Structure formats: structure tokens, C-alpha cells
Amino acid sequence: MMSESCRINENDLFKQDWRSRSRGQVMQYIILKWLLAFLVGLLTGVIATLINLAVENISGYKLLTVVGYIQQERYLMGFLYFLGTNFLLTFIASILCVCFAPTAAGPGIPEIKAYLNGVDTPNMYGATVLFVKIIGSIGAVSAGLDLGKEGPLVHIGSCIASLLGQGGPDNHRIKWKWVRYFNNDRDRRDLITCGASSGVCAAFRAPVGGVLFSLEEVASWWRSALLWRTFCSTAVVVVVLRAFIELCHEGKCGLFGEGGLIMFDVSNVAVSYNVMDIVPVAIIGIIGGVLGSLYNYLLHKILRVYNLINQKGKIYKLLLSLSVSIFTSACQYGLPFLVKCTPCDDLSMCPTNGKSGNYKQFNCPNGHYNDLATLLLTTNDDAVRNIFSTNTPHEYQPFSILIFFTLYCILGLITFGIAVPSGLFLPIILIGSGYGRLLGIIMRPYTNIDHGLLAVLGAASLMAGSMRMTVSLCVIFLELTNNLLLLPITMIVLLIAKTVGDSFNPSVYEMILHLKGLPFMDADPEPWMRNLSVGELIDVKSSVVSFRGIEKVSNIVDALKNTTHNGFPVMDDGDEVEIVKLHGVILRAHLIKVLKKKWFLKEKRRTEEWEVREKFSWVELAEREENIEDVIGVTKEEMEMFVDLHPLTNTTPFTVLESMSVAKARILFRQVGLRHMLVVPKYQASGVSPVIGILTRQDLLAYNILPVFPHLENSKGREKSN
């Protein structure tokens, strides 16, 4: 379902309402915008803290119990407890998604990206989805599955924003007048952008990175005012997180509260590198681009298989999730037995059997530690901290890092796509840090860069190679690691990885959008679109359905029932004979409101201003559309009556000449945020309609154009070869 354009629908009602607003009402509207942005940040920060608190305590106490069994050498009991707890947590997360909110599964970022591009996925931002996303994220992450809470937090922030903007859930909305001002798709889109930024900020404690993430990756349209409001939301999130960390610092919140805002601090090492260090940095970037594109390719294949499994029914979705949980638990518990114990260099800090630390004793004797258990038998966040740890060049054996890297490559591919809330950021960070650390061991004689910093660069390169982000990713990693000296080499790695990845396939989010069938419109059109004009595109479409300024009710009902169009041109007779002029475009949603309210005229005439304002308000017309099925039956007598469409018609539609190229029209369509684009003839003849067709999002997508114009496929191939 398409969402509204981000442009204002400038009909007579809107103009009258805007002129009648006092300066105080305008200020009230602006203040309320800022208030909602503040509330989005506040609620996202609180919920993110509660999720972190629950995950750290559930995972922490689970692992402490397992370590207790291992210390008693009750290995089988420890495995059964570990497996059973993870199985139960996965079952809770999966059953909620399968039975109550299927749209809560996955990260939610592709659907948010599609919504902000103009495509609305049904049941994506409701209260049920929010609840399932919160509980499901806690269960899935606590179960030790190879997934993060970053994507779900972005979705949670967006759900909070949507519910605030529309005044609550669909069935229990607040009907206050000031709330209804925001119950339109433009303000809702702005709030969801604030929510997405707040989610990234809450996940990584990176306020600037959160804003840049929305700007670079999620939002299709951007304004300077929106930049300020998203920054306000992320600033509030950081303050909330800081307040809770201070509150929980002295152990008042169980196992939560250790550390500060910086999640993976590597600021305690001096970053020194010379010109020759560019070579290993470039190698990491190239490998990241190749592995990132390979990861996208394999994930695409696996998700297609998962789609076939999930189509068989709910029980198959549940069994798939539980199977992945069993495999993950068995690998995390069993693989550390394959490596040799390492003697401790510092007996005061090693081994560690408590809450956290780099040196897990596991099955080793006193004075020794198991380096693979340090990475596997811990929470995902602690695993990243351990592998990012600096000044530890001899802590991990190459064989252990190789097992870690191989395992998380497998888990990263098979875990994403099961019916639980999941994020892609953390799995990719774990894979990337694995090969970054491995390269550090291999290139030890050739570079002085710390192994922990190479793990950071490896994680950044794989994220750029898979997700194809650069600026926002660079800032997120700087805020994650608190080391500004990493900036130059991080930028080089990201640019190389993205360039290499782009030469193979699209980003992982674009791939998921395609799999879900969401008609996402990229910023850059295909080169072959320059060879096709919008006039040629209109010629192969069905003829445009238009209305007169004063139209018969029966004609409106027939058009709404027999077409799926969301916009209709409205024509008027010109001052000269046989001249037809364009008055504007009227939306399907407004026509349905007219029929529901039965705003009919017995004679063919223009209505007065007071007659319109008596029935409709601009706020009401800005609300989301309804279905023609909701219209109560119109009688035969009413079918012969008339409707004056002039007051409800948008009189400022965007029009393009039929000679314009499809490429240029598509750029205009996306940059301006349109829903309809009228195509007008190059020459206006007497008695001929001033509109020859309407272009919508579906018409401008490449995979819809190529089947109609197969000869463009050849020109597409020639352009690629050139």
C-alpha cells in the first residue's frame, strides 16, 4: 500500500485553514512537533535501557549457572541447562512472532526504509508489534542466538513514534484536536525518522551516528528542520541512557550497569601507523568488500529457502527457529573443548569465572584459560569487547580465531530470517572482527597496528561491504570505540569495502526489500531510462480516468470500484469553446470520505465555502485513507446527484511534458516525494484533454518497465559493457 506524498495537499480547505490560523496556533504546532520528538527519544531510551537490563541479567545469570556446573566438572548437566534455557527463550520469542505479530520478526529496517520511501507495509507499527518486538528481542538475544538488538531497537523507536503521532493504537486513538494535527503521513514520516535515529542511538549509544544513519540509509527525503528534530531525539536518548547507567553503576540493577556510554572502548592504545600500514588496511577493505558481497549472495539464497519453509505454516516457522537455537547452543558449548588451554600471563586477572572478562577458565586447570570459550560462552556484546580488546597480541590462538570466524559465518547466515526479532549489525561485527583479528595474527611481522584495532577495522569493512554505508558507519564506529585516531584508516577501509562490494551486488537491505516485494525507488535511475520518454511509457498504460469539476455520484462510485487508482485528474471547461483546463488532482481517500458523508448536491452547481467547512476539516482530510468497502450503500436517487470536487482537489499537482525522459522524471519523483505525476502533451489541441496520463511509483520501477520494452534490455547490456 502506498503512503501519502510528503508534499502538502494544497486544496481549498487547506488554504482556508492555513489562512485562518493565528500566530499562536502556528507556534503551538511547532512546539508540539518538538515535544513529540522529545517524547520519542525519552520512551526509546527508557525501553532500550529496560531491554539491556533484561538481556544482561537473563544472559548473565544463565552463563554463571553454566560456569558453576563446569567448575564442578558436570559438563553434561551444564550443556543440558544451557541448551534448555536457550530453547525456552527462543520458543517464547518465536511463538510471539508466529502467532501474534509476524511483522515483528526480523530487523524491521527494510520496511522502515520502504515506508520512508513511500511504501506502507500493513501492521508494521502497531502496539502489538511493539510489545512483541520488545519481549521477542529480550528472548532472542538472551538465548545467545547470533543476532543483535540494534535492528529491533530501530523498529521499536519507529513504532513508538508512529503511535505517538497518531494518538495511540488504531482501536484506541486519542481524539484530541492537537493530536489529530499530526495524524497525517507527512508528520508521521518525520516522527518515524526520529524514531529510527533514536533506535540506532539507543543500540550503539551513538547520537550523531543515529542521525547520520537516518540521513544516509533510511530516509529518502530530508529537510534541515528534520535534522534538528532527529538530533533532539538522539540527545534525549543519550541523556536517558547515561542516567540509567549512573543509577545502576553500583550493582543496583543486577548484572547491568558495568561500563559507561562507550560500548567497545579502545581508547587506551596509541594508534601509530606509517605509510606502509596502508597496505594491510587496504587488504582488510578489499576482503571486507568481497566477503560482504558474498555474505549478501549466500543470505539471499538462504532467505529464499526460508520463505519456502515459512509458507508451509506456523509450526514450520517455529521448528526452524528452535532448530537454529539447538545448533547454536551445541556449537557454543561444544567447540571450546576442541582447543588447548593457554597458560595465564597475569595470574591476578586470569582466569575469569565471574560476570565478564577476557580469560574464561571453562574446562582448563587453575592458571590456564580457554580462549575460544572467552568468545563463545558469553553474551554477544562481551564477545565483541573481548575480540576488540587491545594490547592482547598473544591472547588468542589462530586456530581458535579461525573456528570463531567460521562458526559465526555459518550462524550469521542461518539465524537471520527465522521468526524472531533480529538485527544484522552484531552478527556482521562478529564475523568482521574475527577475520580482522586473524589478519592481525598473520600480518604481525608487517604492521605495528594493534590486533584489537585490526578487529575493529575488519568489522567496519564487512559492514561497509554488506550494508554499503560509509559516513554514518564511520561515525558510529568512532562513537563505539572512542578513538578518534582511527578516523583516517577507518575512512579508507570503508571506502574500499563499499567500492568493492558495489561491483558485485546491491546492499543487504536492498536485497531484503526485493525479496519482500516492496517497490523501493533508488536515488539513481538506470542509465537506459534516458532512452525512454514518459510519453512512450504512458502509451502502453490504460487510459487515464478523470473527473469533471462537478461530477455525477454514479461516475465516482464506478471509478472507485473498477479501478485501483489513488489519484484522478479533475478537469474544467475553459473560457473558450472546446478548451478543457486542468484544475488539479483529487485523491481516492477524499472521494471515499465524500461518499461516506454523502456530501451530494441535487443540482449541478459550485458549493460555497461555508458548505464545505461545515462537512470537512483539513485535519480530517489529512488522515489516512479508508476503503471503498467501508462506504454504506448509495441509493439510486443519490447516484443521480452531483459532487463539487473543487474544494477537495489539490490545485498544485506536479506536471511534466511527455518528451521528458523516464530517468529525469524518476529523479524528480523521488527527490520531491511525489505520489502522482501528471504527464501533459507538448501541444494542446482544442477538445483534447490537458492530461494524457498519470505516472505512479509502480510505473517508474525498472522491473515493471523492462517487460513492456524488451529492446531496452539490450541497451542495458551495452551500457554495462561500455
Per the prediction, the chain carries an average pLDDT of 85
Neighbouring-strand partners of residue 643: 551
Q: Among residues 427, 420, 422, which one has the least CA distance to residue 321? A: 420
Q: Determine the Cα–Cα distance for residues 339 and 397; give it in Å rounded to an integer.
A: 9
Q: What's the CATH number of domain 527-719, 3.90.79.10, 3.10.580.10, 3.40.50.740, 3.30.70.260? A: 3.10.580.10
> Are residues 483 and 264 in contact, defined by beta-carbon separation less than 8 angstroms?
no
Q: What is the pLDDT of residues 177-230, one digit of tens each?
A: 656 666 667 788 889 999 999 999 999 989 999 999 999 988 888 888 889 999
The grid cell for 495 is 571506502
184 φ/ψ angles, rounded to the nearest 5 degrees:
-135, 160
Residue 722 scores a pLDDT above 50: no
Residue 146 scores a pLDDT above 90: yes
pTM of the model: 0.89
Residue 145 scores a pLDDT above 90: yes
Beta-strand (E) ranges in 416-518? none
Residue with cell 565478564: 356
The reported pLDDT for the residue numbered 391 is: 82
Q: What is the pLDDT of residues 105-114, one digit of tens each?
A: 989 999 999 8
Q: Determine the Cα–Cα distance for residues 490 and 484; give it in Å rounded to an integer.
A: 10
The reported pLDDT for the residue numbered 469 is: 92
Q: What is the pLDDT of residues 611-669, one digit of tens each?
A: 777 777 766 666 665 667 667 678 888 888 998 888 888 888 889 999 999 999 998 88
Q: Determine the Cα–Cα distance for residues 376 and 400; give it in Å rounded to an integer.
A: 10
Q: How many C-beta neighbours within 10 Å does residue 71 have?
A: 13
Domain locations along the chain: 25-250, 275-333+343-516, 527-719
SS3 label, residue 22:
coil
H or E segment at 18?
Answer: helix 12-20
Q: What percent of the chain has pLDDT over 90?
A: 40
Residue 562 scores a pLDDT above 60: yes
Same fold, 275-333+343-516 and 527-719: no
The reported pLDDT for the residue numbered 258 is: 57
> Any idea which architecture 275-333+343-516 has in CATH?
Orthogonal Bundle (1.10)
> Are residues 670 and 521 in contact, defined by beta-carbon separation less than 8 angstroms?
yes
Q: What is the pLDDT of residues 262-309, one digit of tens each?
A: 577 777 776 777 777 888 899 999 999 999 999 999 999 999 999 999
Average pLDDT over residues 124-135: 93
Cis before 351 (ω within 30): yes
Residue 166 scores a pLDDT above 90: no
Q: What percent of the chain has pLDDT over 70?
A: 89
Q: Among residues 580, 579, 556, 570, which one has the least CA distance to residue 646? A: 570
> Any idea which architecture 25-250 has in CATH?
Orthogonal Bundle (1.10)
